Amino acid sequence: MTLSRTLCERALALTWAHIDAAARAAAKTFLHDTLCVGAAGARAPLADNVLAAARRWGEGSACGVLGRPDVRLPQPSAAFVNAFQIHAQEFDCVHEPAVVHPLATVGAVILSEADRAASEGKPVTGEVLLTALVAGVEVAASLGLAASTPLKFFRPATAGVFGCIAALISLRRLRMDQGVAAFGYALAFASGTMQAHAEGKPALPIQIANAARAAVMAVDLAEAGLPGPEASLEGPFGYLTLFETAHDAAPLTHPAPGFRIAEVSWKPFPTGRATHGGIVAIQTLMADHGLTSRDVAEIVYRAPPLIHRLVGRRPGAGMAQAWARLCLPWLGAIVLTRGTVGLADFTPERLSDPALLRLADRIRVEVDDNPDPAAFTPATLTISTTDGRLFRHTITAQLGSPEQPLTLDQHLAKQATCLDFGGIGANAAALADAIDRFETVPDAAAILSLLGARR
């Protein structure tokens, strides 16, 4: 029995009745989060360029794009553009221990599937869509958890494509041979390296977009009768062997009780997740001690190696917004000057502001001796003041994580902010109400009318 067969069986066997209350609530919460972030992503830098490229691959009427009422595309292209928009501003949810953004890929794919099915007169119910979401996140996050060494490939894309396959197996009710073949073609299409992250290039969300499109293509090929590799995950040239330096397949072969969707974290700021602990620590010390940017001589964030690797980079005049979102020193300067970081902070004028760059020069990330290659915490931020005082704050759990979840008010405020940024803020209350009862709706794609994806 290969892992692909095991995962196919689980995806087909999962029903809404099998999913516990915590996972049901998380599925609705993070679907809501993902849809709103994706709608805001229609206004992200380069989002129009991505749409222009996708249109060159063919127009169609099957699927809409979040925040774009006049756009209809073939399913693979709609999944591609929506996935880009979901991740383009680094605001989408994350499974921290797996280092995977499972909803950027899975959310985009199940949305495109529901929209295509509705256009063919075969609507997908909200309950069925949520069940597929849980199945997809389970696979993507478990693949990330199976890794025991640091990232070298971009796991949100490379693991994400397999999560999308599980979700589509659930939605399309594939036969076992088709599901196995789809996993095989996911391996054939899997790609994405950390080089885009290291350089702060838009290729990062493009890799996620490509994973979403590739999953649709893989399942279409399997349904068309093309056999694929069977040991696509554990084989000598399978995913775990090639894409991870070392792994332990236990999270896949012996899953823990509960569901991975309940382990997912919100992002309260539109920045790399590894910056969030430092942002909150600066906010906390400013509030507790009345500090301002004028008081700061130096800030040091001493954190696990993953933090330094992901966001310890230095800022520079004219840097791209993708670089800035992953630069804790520059983001710390934003927080020191206005108390938080938001979607509107990444303008060319802000990115080249000499005062912000000088302030960022006083902030740095240091590596501690944490041996866990996927650890985000614990981490300690120290502010040295110009008059010789020292203030410290230790982050033991990140804001938005299961250990420190957002309140309902914080969650709704984030979604309202995203919809406002996307120009559809008037729909916030109606969308929240629709999500509350989403498992009861007969056509999941109907929600797109509230997200600027349909007229």
Question: Could you report the per-residue pLDDT of 8-40, keeping only the tens digit for each?
Answer: 999 999 999 999 999 999 999 999 999 999 999
Return the CATH number at 378.
Answer: 3.30.1330.120
Return the CATH number at 437.
Answer: 1.10.4100.10
pTM of the predicted model over 0.85:
yes
* Among 18, 184, 165, CA closest to 106: 165
| Residues 240-278 pLDDT 10s | 999 999 999 999 999 888 999 999 999 999 999 999 999
Taking residues 102-113, report their average pLDDT: 98
Check pLDDT > 90 for residue 452: yes
pLDDT the model gives residue 201 = 95
Alpha-carbon distance of 344 to 188, in angstroms, equals 38
The residue type found at 419 is L
Residues 93 and 158 in one domain: yes
Q: What is the CA radius of gyration of the chain?
A: 21
198 part of a folded domain: yes
Taking residues 218-222, report their average pLDDT: 98
What's the domain range around 41? 3-268+410-450
Boundary (domain end) residue, out of 355, 371, 395: 395
455 part of a folded domain: no
pLDDT the model gives residue 255 = 87
Alpha-carbon distance of 12 to 276, in angstroms, equals 37
When pLDDT is cut at 50, 70 and 90, the band that residue 61 belongs to is: confident
Residues 420 and 381 in one domain: no
Residues 74 and 220 in one domain: yes
Check pLDDT > 80 for residue 90: yes
What percentage of the chain has pLDDT greater than the value 90?
A: 98
440 part of a folded domain: yes
Taking residues 160-173, report their average pLDDT: 98
433 part of a folded domain: yes
When pLDDT is cut at 50, 70 and 90, the band that residue 59 belongs to is: confident
77 part of a folded domain: yes
386 part of a folded domain: yes
State the average pLDDT for the chain: 97
Check pLDDT > 70 for residue 455: no
When pLDDT is cut at 50, 70 and 90, the band that residue 311 belongs to is: very high
Structurally, the chain folds into a number of domains equal to 2
Asked if 165 and 215 count as a contact pair (C-beta separation under 8 A), the reply is: yes
Residues 258 and 277 in one domain: no
Residues 352 and 324 in one domain: yes
| Residues 397-447 pLDDT 10s | 999 999 999 999 999 999 999 999 999 999 999 999 999 999 999 999 999
Residues 102 and 127 in one domain: yes
402 part of a folded domain: no
Boundary (domain end) residue, out of 348, 371, 395: 395
* Among 210, 89, 114, 94, CA closest to 453: 114
Alpha-carbon distance of 178 to 175, in angstroms, equals 5
Residues 107 and 241 in one domain: yes
Residues 38 and 179 in one domain: yes
Tokens of 228: 């694929």
Residues 76 and 157 in one domain: yes
- Three-class SS state of 272: coil
Q: Supply the DSSP string of 163-183, one letter for each residue.
A: HHHHHHHHHHT--HHHHHHHH
22 part of a folded domain: yes
Boundary (domain end) residue, out of 368, 395, 422: 395
Residues 180 and 88 in one domain: yes
Residues 180 and 216 in one domain: yes
pLDDT the model gives residue 1 = 87
Residues 83 and 112 in one domain: yes
